[in-house]
Chain A
Amino acid sequence: MTKENKKKDDQIKERSFGIVGVIWKKISVPLTSIFLALFIGGLIMAISGSDPFEAYGALFQSAFGDINGWGRTLEKATPLIFSGLAVTFAFKAGLFNIGTQGQLLMGAITSAYLGFAITGLPAIIHIPLALLGGALAGALFGSIPGLLKTRTGAHEVITTIMLNYVAINITDYLSNGPLKEVSSSDVVARTPPIEASAEIPQVAGLPLGFFIAIIFAVFVWWILEKTTLGFEIRTAGLSGTAAKYAGIKVTAIIVITMVISGALAGLGGAVETQGIVGRYQPGFNTGLGFDGITVALLGKVHPIGNIFSALLIGSMKAGGAKMQFVADVTPEITNVVQALMLFFVAADRVVRWIIRQRETDDEGLTLTTGWGN
């Protein structure tokens, strides 16, 4: 065996062993965090007098036990994938988009409007049309903090938080005013139901929206990793100054990123409206955007990782009620477990110390770059 060949052989060996190793390296911290969180959650249950095995058993059974459970879990996960992608996308450019909730609401109500106001279209046109409307509304709403940042330097964390309230009030006004459902005894603030042609159907008991979400997760991964735009976004995220010197128009990148991020969140709202709720009703999308932050962090700010973390959070949402019903555990415990997961992922040094894994350069979350830009 020549020296050359041996080297090649080693490379191949490294690579084949490498794939498992690389994936494990990427998911070891989130996975360990999940277990630590579940373990501590179980301890809390045990201390408060409930049986953690019974509780987690009920949660698991309800979330994955049968096709209905899967359906519920996927339903809950779908909007979270979108809002997680929205947060992830912005993170990559060093932007902290906390406005996914507002962008999602704007998308949800726009798709509801297009869903009930337009009649007589075939589903094959009506569904994508309403989805597109939702995405555009989210994009438009997401562009505001982007423009504010590039024009005035206003920090996106502040502006996106404030714009959430603007979105809540716009949607409350619309659903309680111009778009309110007219019926004799009904005082509920909500829009009329969307046309059947705008409804995203179920496939064998599973929501089709989930599969749309997966397509978009792959699409986002492709943009970020395989296109020039993605490269520019990531470069701007790592260092705005360096990107500027490299000839990247950082201000344009910021706006484009926020537009795409907002579009993803808006799409999440649209899919939720057309796939689950069937209309816009205030309060029915509570927390979907905010949970995107949890999902993105738990998914290690990776588009594909988002799918799995959204499934996890979704399963806890889907099974939480059954858990409290069967095991008499307060549902807040799922919040505690979620918060612990997030804590361990964010404080990944603790987890790395536990599993004795060394930190590598490419893995650190780029959470803080946004603050300095």
Chain B
Amino acid sequence: MSKKYLLIVVLVFALVIAGCTAADAPEATCADEETLCVGFVTDVGEVDDKSFNQASWEAVQEFAAANDVFEVDYVETRDAKDYEANINLFVEAGYDVIVTSGFAIGDYTAAAALANPDIYFIGVDQYQGFDVPNFTGVQFNEDYSGFLAGAVAAMLTETDIVAGVYGTNLVPPVQKFKQGFEAGAAYINPDITVISTYSPGGFETGFTDPEWGATTAAQAIDNGADIVFGAGGQTGNGAIIEAGTQGKLCIGVDVDQWLTLPEAHACLVTSATKLIGPAVIDMLDAYMTDTIPEGNYIGGAGLAPYHDFEALITGDMQDILDQIVLDLESGAILTGFVLEE
């Protein structure tokens, strides 16, 4: 009896292997001169993460729809050790532009740009500290939008206690959101209590642990917080949704999370955004018109629309916020951001 099954298993194995080798005949056309191909490599995390990666990928697709792009494709990075290999998938396929997303992939983007001077690289949330003409680092003033979010939170809180739940502090943009939020809250009300918690999960689970985010938000709410700012991928999303479940207010991050996280409609006043999509499209347009900026590019940052919570923000409050935007631009207000060690 068992021998028969062994035979069947072996046969199926052989069939599968035979099928595999036969099915492999792709037509390489991105390598052609006249075709424009744009590739996208995510940071560790999903392409439909409802915030960071998704914004870049949607921008790439939007650009492709508006221009004569032959092919766009993405690769999700599952293992940080694969950054280089994943970028090389596009390099080998002859792509013309490669967008990479995330702070941690920056080194590998720069290295790939040096090795492939004919390919243009756009690195979202990356800083390029040396001159590579075919690589633009795109950054955002997260502390500005964090500051505005903190100001909104301080104006809306009734308990004078607000909370921030963050991804790992190993990522400078996360630090910027946190410090900006704290500074903005204190700017409106110097006596306010801000409960700030970084995820202890590091790069391992810092952005992918909604349960931890929810628990941490619940603890802050137990301690009197009535507005929760969630900044850290799925971890932050967990915190935001928890605030909504408990009937408190919440503030999202990176993109207008009203659009990406419907579960948060119960509580989402606004989101501390960085305009990732527009920045990526700007860089792609620059590539088309041969006006690639040298070095780094600072994208926009600000608050998302209030949607259903429009009525909470009075005219006076909006005036203050508008003034803050001007003062941040002019330097009259400083967020006081310093990189934590």
Contact = CB atoms under 8 A, between A and B. Distances in A.
B5 A28 contact: yes
Interface string B10-23: 00100011011111
A185 B78 contact: no
B82 interface: yes
B23 A57 contact: yes
B224 interface: no
A330 interface: yes
Contacts of B205: 168
A26 B130 CA distance: 57
A298 to B, nearest CB: 16
B313 interface: no
Given A24-B2, A31-B9, A321-B82, A188 B107 contact: yes
B310 interface: no
Contact of A332 (B46, B89, B106): B46
Given A187-B172, A284-B81, A168 B200 contact: yes
Given A284-B80, A317-B78, A168 B2 contact: no
Nearest to B130: A185
A241 interface: no
A56 B18 CA distance: 11
A325 B98 CA distance: 14
A281 B21 contact: no
Contacts of A31: 9
B333 interface: no
Interface string B330-341: 000000000101
A21 B21 CA distance: 31
B75 to A, nearest CB: 5
B201 interface: yes
Interface in B69-116: 73, 75-82, 85-86, 89, 93, 104, 106-107
B202 A326 contact: no
Given A283-B202, A286-B44, A328 B73 contact: yes
Interface string A13-30: 000000011001100100
A321 B19 contact: no
Contacts of A176: 170, 341
A58 interface: yes
B317 to A, nearest CB: 36
B204 A283 contact: yes
B66 interface: no
A282 interface: yes
Contact of A321 (B85, B93, B104): B85
B204 A168 contact: yes
Given A282-B202, A330-B76, A185 B12 contact: no
A324 B77 CA distance: 11
Given A32-B9, A321-B89, A57 B24 contact: yes
A331 B107 CA distance: 24
Nearest to B17: A60
Contacts of A284: 80-81
A100 to B, nearest CB: 13
A99 to B, nearest CB: 14
A22 to B, nearest CB: 10
A343 to B, nearest CB: 19
A61 B24 contact: yes
B190 interface: no
Given A283-B44, A332-B46, A35 B9 contact: yes
B86 A286 contact: no
B170 A322 contact: no
A317 B79 contact: yes
Contacts of B339: 187
A320 B73 CA distance: 15
Contacts of A177: 341
Q: Which 6 residue pairs spanning A and B have beta carbons closest together? A: A283-B203, A185-B129, A57-B20, A57-B23, A172-B202, A60-B20
Given A286-B79, A286-B204, 11 more contacts: A35-B9, A38-B16, A56-B20, A169-B202, A172-B168, A172-B202, A176-B341, A282-B203, A321-B76, A325-B89, A334-B78
